[in-house]
Structure 1
Amino acid sequence: MTFRMSEQAYLVLLALAEEPRHGYGVVQAVRALSDDRVRLGAGTLYGILDRLVDAGYAEPSEEVVVDGRARRYYRLTGDGLDAVQAETRRLAALSRRARQVLGRPALGGA
């Protein structure tokens, strides 16, 4: 199965690249990384985490009980780091190309 890198999955990988995080920590980091533009619900977050784990990009690292509730932490794997770096390069190249295109005079324009 090929992993589809959505914007949300990319932001989750970035959040995990900073440090291992539990679900709520990932949600908060994604909000910060996206300037509060992307807000993940629990179903979306855990669906993405499950896909990242299945792809070998993330793995559960530990479980900590806080106030009687278990918090499962996730961390990036080596393959996950490779994937987020590759996607960052792809987005940077796309951005450079967009700047080139947008910097050109409009076709047929005055």
Structure 2
Amino acid sequence: MPRRSSEVSEPMYFVLTVLLDGPLHGHAILKRIVEVTTGRVRPTVGTLYAILERLTARGVLVVDREETVNGRVRRYFRITDKGVTIVRAEATRMKEAAVLVLDREALA
């Protein structure tokens, strides 16, 4: 997939997608991605936290809150309006690309 500023990687897309439902912490994000993709997408913990850092630095995500659980800090991330715009634009782009193929299949 070509890289343009308006496009996001597949793991980024699913991080943004699951955060549309509300703030989640890292482990919950991973779990939801696996659920919504029925196991097809399984980012590693390292990949997830790199994505979270990158998207936070770009203003696409923000830290919603932090809590301490069993002595460890748990950060909850929330998608920003900018992030919503990006993930919706990416969904539209993918839908338009899919139609090009699916319309051809219907004609066959």
Question: Could you say whether these structures have the same fold, taking a TM-score greater than 0.5 normalized by the shorter chain as the test?
Answer: yes
Give distance in 2, aligned partners of 1:89 and 1:75: 22
1:99 lines up with 2:102 in the alignment: yes
- Secondary structure at the aligned position of 1:72 is classed as strand
Q: Distance in 1 between matches of 2:68 and 2:53?
A: 21
Task: Count the aligned residue pairs.
Answer: 105
Identity of aligned residues (%): 34
Q: Which amino acid aligns with 1:94?
A: A
CA RMSD of aligned residues (A): 1.6
Asked if residue 10 in structure 1 is aligned to residue 13 in structure 2, the reply is: yes
Please say if 1:64 is aligned against 2:67: yes
The letter for the 2-side match of 1:58 is: L
Gaps of 5+ in 1: 106-110
How far, CA to CA, are the matches of 2:6 and 2:99 in structure 1? 25
Relative contact order, CA 8 A, sep 6+: which one is greater?
2
TM-score (norm 2): 0.89
The 8 Å contact of residues 6 and 90 in structure 2, kept in 1 or not, is answered as no
The aligned residue for residue 108 of structure 1 is: none
Measured against aligned partners, the alpha-carbon deviations of 1:29-66 in whole angstroms (never above 9, x if no partner) come to 11011111111111100011111112211111111111
Unaligned 5+ residue runs, structure 2? none
TM (norm. structure 1) is 0.87
